[in-house]
């Protein structure tokens, strides 16, 4: 089987990074090409999302009545449910590869991607369905609040949109923690989601800034205007693995502190300089 070229120093304790943050820059520098390859692989699973975004803007621009606009939002909300299933199924393969990079288990990226996919795709579908429900509810619900309730009470409409956005944010963070757990541990999906919810709330001061970096910036570019939407599409296709790496490292850092140190010592600070 074809092997990925890795630095010899990746396997020497003294040359490994001391922190997960330092590891991000180390991997970004020395595994840049491999991360780009992983972005392209993940892009295959993100193509329904890209197609939905482009179609949404094209039809929204041509919508001239309230009913036609509502139809565009309803169809987009339904399609986003399918898109999230596809994207998060792919993330099981991507996070599996990132786990091997972080733990300094160098193997060829594309084969690892499909190995992770084969092992975890069913759980990825479930996680993607939960995210899809959340995102669809946010899109359709926001339209309802903007076009119907805002005419009667703008405060209630604004509060309703805020609740929808917050729940989507929380569900997305839970999903990242869930995918990271799925590729690391053999655990029941119910407990994976429960643990992920706890990590989401307990480390919210860390999770929120990371969410703003990814996928917050991409989401903002999607909704600002049509031109920035195409920038978001380019980021999704080319650099999605870098955003996933941020979340993978964040999740593993939390697992090191609260799970690995006592329960999985073989995972604790794996890939880092343990002598530091």
Domains of the chain, by residue range, sit at 8-263
Give the integer Cα–Cα distance in Å for 100 and 83: 26
Give the pTM: 0.92
d(CA 179, CA 127): 8
d(CA 16, CA 195): 29
Rounded CA separation 38/23 (Å): 18
Which tokens sit at 84?
A: 């999230």
pLDDT in tens, the chain (276 residues): 444 444 444 446 667 899 999 999 999 999 999 999 999 999 999 999 999 999 998 898 888 888 898 999 999 999 999 999 999 999 999 999 999 999 988 656 678 999 999 999 999 999 999 999 999 999 999 998 888 776 677 888 889 999 999 999 999 999 999 999 999 998 999 999 999 999 999 999 999 999 999 999 999 998 888 889 899 999 999 999 999 999 999 999 999 999 999 999 999 999 998 765
H helix runs in 148-276, sequence order: 154-184, 189-202, 204-211, 217-224, 226-238, 240-255, 261-263
Give whole-number Cα distances, 255 to 189, 198, 211, in Å. Answer: 16, 12, 18
Cβ(84)–Cβ(124) under 8 Å? Answer: no
Among 225, 200, 245, 218, CA closest to 98? 245
User: Under the phi-then-psi rule, with left for phi > 0, alpha for psi from -120 to 50, and beta for the rest, what region is 12?
Assistant: beta
Max distance between CA atoms of the chain, in angstroms, equals: 66
């Amino acid at each position: 089987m074809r092997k990925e070229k890795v630095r010899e120093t990746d396997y020497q304790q003294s040359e490994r990074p001391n922190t997960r943050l330092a590891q991000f820059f180390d991997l970004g520098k020395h595994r840049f090409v491999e991360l780009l390859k992983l972005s392209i692989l993940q892009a295959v699973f993100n193509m329904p999302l890209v197609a939905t975004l482009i179609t949404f803007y094209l039809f929204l621009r041509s919508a001239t009545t309230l009913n036609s606009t509502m139809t565009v939002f309803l169809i987009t909300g339904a399609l986003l449910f399918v898109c999230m299933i596809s994207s998060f199924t792919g993330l099981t393969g991507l996070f599996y590869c990132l786990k091997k990079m972080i733990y300094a288990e160098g193997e060829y990226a594309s084969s690892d991607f499909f190995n992770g996919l084969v092992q975890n795709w069913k759980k990825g579908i479930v996680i993607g369905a939960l995210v899809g429900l959340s995102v669809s509810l946010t899109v359709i619900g926001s339209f309802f609040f903007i076009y119907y309730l805002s005419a009667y009470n703008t405060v209630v409409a604004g509060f309703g949109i805020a609740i929808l956005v917050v729940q989507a944010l929380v569900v997305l963070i839970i999903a990242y923690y869930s995918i990271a757990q799925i590729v690391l541990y053999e655990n029941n999906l119910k407990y994976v989601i429960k643990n992920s919810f706890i990590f989401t709330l307990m480390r919210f001061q860390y999770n929120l800034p990371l969410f703003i970096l990814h996928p917050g910036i991409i989401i903002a570019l999607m909704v600002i205007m049509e031109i920035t939407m195409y920038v978001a599409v380019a980021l999704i296709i080319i650099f999605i693995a870098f955003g996933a790496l941020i979340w993978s490292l964040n999740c593993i850092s939390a697992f090191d502190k609260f799970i690995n140190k006592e329960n999985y010592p073989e995972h604790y600070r794996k890939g880092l300089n343990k002598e530091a």
